[in-house]
A and B are shown apart, each in its own frame.
Chain A
Amino acid sequence: MENLAKNLWVIPLLPLLAATVGTFLPRRLHRVTAGLSVAALATAAILAAAAFLSVVRGGALYSNVPWFETGTLSVRVGWILDPLSAAMLLMITVVGTLIFIFSTGYMAEDPDSGRFFCFLSLFAAAMLGLILSNSLLLLFICWELVGLASYLLIGFWYSRPPAADAARKAFLTTRIGDLGFLVGLIWLYSESGTVLFYDQGAGCLEPAALSGIAGRATAGGLALGTAISLLLFCGAVGKSGQLPLHVWLPDAMEGPTPVSALIHAATMVAAGVFLMARMFPLVALGGSAELPAPALVVMAWTGALTALFGALTAVAQTDIKRILAYSTISQLGFMMMGLATGGPAVGMVHLLTHAFFKALLFLGAGSVIHGCHGEQDIRHLGGLRRRMPLTFATYAVGMMALSGVPVFFSGFWSKDAILHSLSHWAPSRVPFLLGVLTAAVTAFYMTRQMIYVFAGTSRGPDSAHAHEGSPVLTVPLGILAGASIALSAVTTPFRPWLEHFLSPASTPSESGSVWGILILSALACGAGLAAGGILYRNLGVALKTGRDPLERWVPRMYTLMRDRFRFDEFYRATLVKWVGAAAWISAALDQSLGSVFRDLASFAASAGSWLSRTVDQGVLNASFDDGCQAARDAGGLLSRTHDGQPQRSLRILIAGVIALAAGLLFLATS
């Protein structure tokens, strides 16, 4: 057991090695790179399974090693293997391996697939490192590394401008959140003196440090723990696509579909939820059942609004991947809600089940796109039920799991647990109602998408000649579909093994309220399914008019949802414009003035000219011209010191040396 914790680093090291070796392989050997990546991650999955089993038997353990020392400052890093990281570890390696296998088929014709697999392996290594880290600093490093891998993979087809733009957008938007994360990290370090989570009583998540933080307030009466938690939550908001930093996630769909499945559905975007679960002892500091910690309240509301926003937006999208992207945003909101109201276990169970069925849905979408020669617009698809039966069957499983169809699908049980904890949340009932509404809307938009893509007859040339992919594509779909169903066996409230595993302390809920929520949840799902089925039953006829059935019914609402509630336009009109204006002014100053000296000189001269103008209004124009000329002259004068003549600089230097030497000697002798 002790050896296991010490050697956990092997698991992230394997994909990292694959990425390193793959980097140096020539481009034509891209199949070798792909095979290497799959083998590395599959081996990691086996090790992860062993680690998981040992945690099931034995419980948490961790191991810290010194990283570097400077003076009295000693920085240590460590690996942790507790139920939280073990479950994530197993999920990431298993889902990752399946997605890697799918990618070998999906990217087979791309000549750059060697680079693709290098990036994917880099991502897997960083993600596994993030999960296993026992130090907030190491977690932050891996956090940035997965962000980098995400950037590289979104922009994988960098010659396409939308992909390059989306990559930049994702990178910059998440950077805003990461700034908060970094400040929080530094603050936590300065308060607790350590960034290790667990360190034999001295870690920052252990009672000694927590009691040191509890009860202290910062400026404005905000509790210290709350302030740090909210800063860390900023990072989670950026990474997990919560309002208002969600705008990058839909655009990230410009990347290859396996990337969307792995990074932007199953693993990386869930890292924010994981971070909050990891830091839960700090986040929940100072709260009780009746009065939760303020950070948790903020998280719950953010999650609730995000969930509803994502679901409503998904209703009106026409790109098969964007629907899933908004669905992911919505489900991430669900996870945040569950985490904030029911503790880490509730949120994490949904994270794990969601990872499986959302990866399944994305890979299914990838299979559709692959079979239809790149067609992503659901209005041009249709009738794929008969042409791609395997994809249809597995996609249906994923769709029912996401919609929360009762009994057999894991998504139902995990979503039910969240709704259950929401219904008991003391501060407000509104998130519960929003959650139920979101569940219904989720079932509705998934029904819409299923009908658009698979029902009826084909509406485009590409979908008419669709074909099922090779077993490399369909076998991972089948395994993921099986997992989506099988996970329900360990997530029901009657046998909540997974929840207990993740959080042994959580109390089993009374069965009476369980039934009430179960029925309500099933009703919401049924309502959504029925509404979707009725509204879209005559889709072929409706589309003849060129409008979505829902658009004819509630046109203004539909437009608003299709335009994603105009978030992007809002940002473009405000933030982007301001930053652009600032950049334009800076560039203009830079170009016209040239050097710092000239900037200063012209500033002084401008100030002088402004003075002279106010003194002498009558000759306003002349004095302004004089001021400009003065600026130009002063600038020209000072720029002469930067004339590219080293000997002139040397002369000044030597004059200084002489003065210094003479001064020192004078001081020493007198």
Chain B
Amino acid sequence: MPPEPVLSLAFAIVAGLVLGGSVAAVSCRNRVHAGLFLAVALVGLALVFLRMGAEFLGFIQILVYVGAVAVLIVFAILLTRGSDSAHERRSNAPGIGIGLAVLLWGVLAWGILHRSPGAIATPSPPPSMAVRDLGERLLREELLPLQTVGLLLTAALIGAALIALPEPGISPRPSGSHGSAGTETPPSSPT
């Protein structure tokens, strides 16, 4: 594999995509836009994965995060819109939060730059990731965790559907307001 320049233009672009998307996602006042910017940041991260040679994970990232989680978040934003936007204030003590985050980044960066650079910098033979190897690893050594995760996902889906069911005592929202269709009982509820 040809040696890649440390700070290539491509890396700068995808890193910019990730960071810009992230910053926009957490700072945007419009919640729908925030959800969309999250998708942008996650696409950027998928591109980082692709560049690192983890093609499979990059596509997984796009499929699961951009295709499912981000879309789910956008849906949730749409469903819950309208009731409380009137008295929404901008942020909850932004100074403290941002200050803490910057402080943490400072500590981490200091650690990354100064703590035992040798261990990280030694370029070992760049690993490749054949999907076949990954599959064999998952289905042989990691079979039990894999099944457990499957169970967890099933339980989470059933639980999510149950939690989101309308409670008997709560009347559905009056028709005409935003997102009333989403509060109906899902047709395939497990109960």
Contacts and interface: CB of A to CB of B under 8 A. Distances in A.
Direct chain A–B contact by Cβ atoms under 8 Å: yes
Given A647-B97, A658-B103, 14 more contacts: A647-B92, A651-B96, A651-B97, A651-B100, A654-B100, A654-B104, A655-B100, A658-B104, A661-B104, A661-B107, A665-B111, A665-B114, A665-B115, A668-B116
Contacts of B103: 658
Given A647-B92, A651-B97, A655-B100, A661 B115 contact: no
A669 B115 contact: yes
Query: Chain A interface mostly helix, strand, loop or mixed?
Result: helix
Given A647-B92, A651-B96, A651-B97, A665 B107 contact: yes
Contacts of A669: 114-115
Interface residues of B, number: 14
Given A651-B97, A651-B100, A668 B107 contact: no
Nearest to A665: B111
A338 B185 CA distance: 69
Contacts of B104: 654, 657-658, 661
Contacts of B110: 665
Interface in B99-117: 100-101, 103-104, 107-108, 110-111, 114-116
A99 B163 CA distance: 48
A647 B91 CA distance: 11
9 nearest CB pairs, A to B:
A665-B111, A662-B107, A654-B100, A661-B107, A658-B104, A658-B103, A647-B92, A658-B107, A669-B114
Contacts of A665: 107, 110-111, 114-115
Interface string A627-670: 00000000000000000000100010011011001100100110
A654 B102 CA distance: 11
A168 B102 CA distance: 59
Contact of B115 (A651, A655, A657, A668): A668
Interface residues of A, number: 11
Contacts of A647: 92, 97
Nearest to B110: A665
A53 B115 CA distance: 78
8 contacts: A647-B92, A647-B97, A657-B104, A662-B107, A665-B107, A665-B111, A665-B115, A669-B115
Interface in A13-35: none
Q: Is the interface of B mostly helix, strand, loop or mixed?
A: helix
Nearest to A662: B107
Interface of B: 92, 96-97, 100-101, 103-104, 107-108, 110-111, 114-116
Nearest to B116: A668
Nearest to A652: B100
Contacts of B107: 658, 661-662, 665
Contacts of A661: 104, 107-108, 111
Interface of A: 647, 651, 654-655, 657-658, 661-662, 665, 668-669
Contacts of B97: 647, 651
A654 B98 CA distance: 12
B102 to A, nearest CB: 10
A382 to B, nearest CB: 56
A658 B108 CA distance: 9
A299 B116 CA distance: 73
Contacts of A658: 100, 103-104, 107
A643 to B, nearest CB: 13
A655 B103 CA distance: 9
Nearest to B97: A651
A658 B107 CA distance: 7
B175 to A, nearest CB: 33
A282 B81 CA distance: 74
A651 B110 CA distance: 21
A661 B108 CA distance: 8
B89 to A, nearest CB: 13
A593 to B, nearest CB: 30
Nearest to B101: A654
Nearest to B100: A654
A662 B110 CA distance: 9
A659 to B, nearest CB: 9
Contacts of B111: 661, 665
A240 B83 CA distance: 65
B188 to A, nearest CB: 26
Contacts of B114: 665, 669
**Residue among B96, B97, B100 with max Cβ neighbours from chain A (10 Å):** B100
A661 B114 CA distance: 13
Contacts of A657: 104
A148 B9 CA distance: 73
A655 B115 CA distance: 21
A651 B100 CA distance: 8
Nearest to A657: B104
A565 B111 CA distance: 78
Contacts of A655: 100
A177 to B, nearest CB: 42
A668 B114 CA distance: 10
A629 to B, nearest CB: 30
Nearest to A661: B107
A561 B170 CA distance: 60
A662 B100 CA distance: 13
